[in-house]
Every structure is written in C-alpha cells, then in structure tokens.
Amino acid sequence: MVSRVREGRPDLGLTVSATTRKPRPGEIPDVSYHFLSEDEFSRLVEEDAFLEWDGHFDKRYGTLWSEVTPRLDAGCSVILEIDVNGGFNVKKAMPNAVLIFIAPPSLEVLEERLRARGSESDEQIAKRLSRVSMEMESSTRYDEVIVNDDLETAVEELSALITRYESDERMHPHVRD
C-alpha cells in the first residue's frame, strides 16, 4: 500500500474552484479561481465536467474533475474549499471523502470578518450570514468540525485531522502498490 503521509506530512493537493463571479481585487485567474462566463459554466455542467457545483449569491461555483483526478492519480488527497451542498455532493460521488466543516466562533465574529474584508455590500453580507446559519445546522452531517476562533489553533487541528485520515489506509482503497 502506498502511504499518503511522507516524512510526517500528508500529500495534499488544493484545487482551484470555478466560479461565474468577477474577480475581486488581488485575485489571479486560474490561481484564485477559474473565472468563467455563465455560458462556459453551463457548457461544463452539460459535459459533466464538475465533481460538484452549486449556485448561491446569484453566482455559480464548482469543482472541476480536471482539478481532482490528476491529484488523486498522483497519490495525493485533495482539499476542496466548498459549501455544504458541494460537500454533500462530493460525499455522494466519493463515499470515502472526509468532510471537515470549518465553523466561525459565532455569527457576530463572522460578520466582523466579512466587514473587515471590505469587498461586499451590507446586502451581500446579510445574504451570507443567512446562508451560514443554514450551513452551521448542516455541519452535524460532516465527519469533523473545527471552530476557527484562533487561526493557529484551527490550522493545528486541521493538520492533525488530515494526518490522522491520511494515515488510515482504509480511507484510500483505490491506492495500491
């Protein structure tokens, strides 16, 4: 069996999501996101090019198979930064997927963080906060939950979880010698 933990560190690949929204200042196409037109996104949906996709905040977001498959084929596990619906869709397509929910310490702290970002209107922030309440209720269906009240602690907890799951060969039945 090929180990996914090498030299004490897991082999991980972070995917780049696709979206129909416009780039924010400082975001780099194909690094921050694959920025697609509505037509491009629709074409890719019709071609079954997405592992998962969803629409929210009047835009669409998704994870392309082309981001996931090469990393898995190379023996890496994949980290997806996606919403809960996307997570549930991934779990349907890939039952061995491990869902880790990163929760804010509270809605108030999340609102402060969103306002500090300065990239969204009051209306957009209100929509996000409304959605987060639903997502937090759904977190009970995840395999693990980490509360991000202190970034360093949350990163340590995430690293420990990833290492634990990466070390469990039962999580990787498709990997063979």
What confidence score (pLDDT) does residue 28 get? Answer: 94
pLDDT band at 5 (very low <50, low <70, confident <90, very high): very low
Burial class of 38 by CB neighbour count within 10 A (0 to 12, 13 to 18, 19+): exposed
Q: Is pLDDT of 50 > 60?
A: yes
pLDDT in tens, 163-173: 888 877 555 54
Give the residue extent of every domain in the chain. Answer: 5-171
The predicted-structure confidence for 80-111, as pLDDT tens digits, reads as follows 988 898 999 999 999 989 999 999 888 888 88
- Helix, strand or coil, per DSSP, at residue 13: strand
Q: Is 63 exposed, middle or buried (0-12, 13-18, 19+ CB in 10 A)?
A: buried
| pLDDT of 171 | 57
- Residue 29 Rama label (left phi>0; alpha psi -120 to 50; beta): beta
Predicted pLDDT at 107:
82
Taking residues 106-129, report their average pLDDT.
83
Of all residues in the chain, the percent with pLDDT exceeding 70 is: 89
57-68 mean pLDDT: 93
Centroid of chain to Cα 44: 19
Q: What's the confidence (pLDDT) of residue 174? A: 47
pLDDT at 115 over 70: yes
Ramachandran class of 99: left when φ > 0, alpha when ψ lies in -120 to 50, beta otherwise: beta
Tens-digit pLDDT profile for residues 9-27: 556 778 999 999 999 889 9
Question: Stretch 54-65: mean pLDDT, rounded?
Answer: 90
Q: Which of 98, 101, 82, 102 is nearest to 4 (CA)?
A: 98
pLDDT at 128 over 70: yes
The CATH class for the domain spanning 5-171 reads alpha beta
Residue 36 Cα distances to 11, 50, 53, 85, angstroms: 29, 13, 13, 20
